[in-house]
Amino acid sequence: MHRTKVKVVADALDANNTIARANREDFDRHGVAVVNLMSAPGAGKTRLLERALASLDGVRAGVLEGDVAGSFDADRLSLLHIPVVQLNTGAGFGGECHLDANMVRSAIPSLPLADLDLLVIENVGNLVCPAEFRVGEDARIMVCSVTEGEDKPLKYPLMFRACELVVINKIDLLPHLDIDLERLLSNLDAVHPGVRRMLVSARTGEGVDELAAWLAEVPGRVRAAA
């Protein structure tokens, strides 16, 4: 039984990866670099994007917003006057807890790829399944709020391993929390040694320039690797 279950899951992930490659070919053909942005619910992905994308000079950015229901984040990001497309995962039952390659594929016709250098895909808030499903991205960022505690890398190891950048957000709250930041960082090193990390506050803006610079460099890095 267990073996069968794993086999079925492996098949589903194979099928997902095939569609993810097709997405990536479409993005590459238009010269669009793609970042998959993941975190737990309420870690501050949207607010970080509001701040970071506003200061991306010379890079034409767009956002694909993934949510179970509603278009609250898409509405906020539209105020930046950039292309934003909403993808809802809530059809059929309680909702999908992640974006998969097929959902992203369904949104591609709505995206103005010819007018973009960078597409940020804001995933559904969840520390498990989004890490399992590639969607055709070039890079993955995960956002971890200091309010979530020191233990999250150890409890959700795949998420912290499956990314090129870990953004540790809400550092303005550190004086009001019991969290041991050094222990959070050493737990991160235990599951993903040496991964690039940034300490930021989307609220105060501290560290957001560094994130904006990282995002601005993604299209160049993707072109250089092609």
**Tokens found for residue 36:** 């998959």
User: In the complex with its own copies, which residue's Cβ is closer, 5 or 81?
Assistant: 5
Nearer to its own copies, 97 or 108 (CB): 97
For 35, the 3-state DSSP assignment is strand
36-75 in b/e form (b: 16+ CB < 10 A) is bbbbbeebbbbbbbbbbbbebeebebbbbbbbbeebebbe
Q: Which residue is listed with tokens 């803006």?
A: 205
| Residue 203 DSSP label | T
Minimum CB distance to its own copies, residue 63 (Å): 16
Residues forming the site for its own copies (CB under 8 A): 2, 5-6, 9-10, 13, 40-42, 67-70, 72, 91-97, 124-129, 131-132, 145, 147-149, 151-152, 154-158, 170, 172-173, 176-178, 203
- Identity of the residue, 33 or 107, whose beta carbon is nearer to its own copies in the bound complex: 107
Using the minimum distance from each CB to its own copies, give the nearer residue, 9 or 213.
Answer: 9
Minimal distance, residue 127 CB to its own copies, in Å? 5
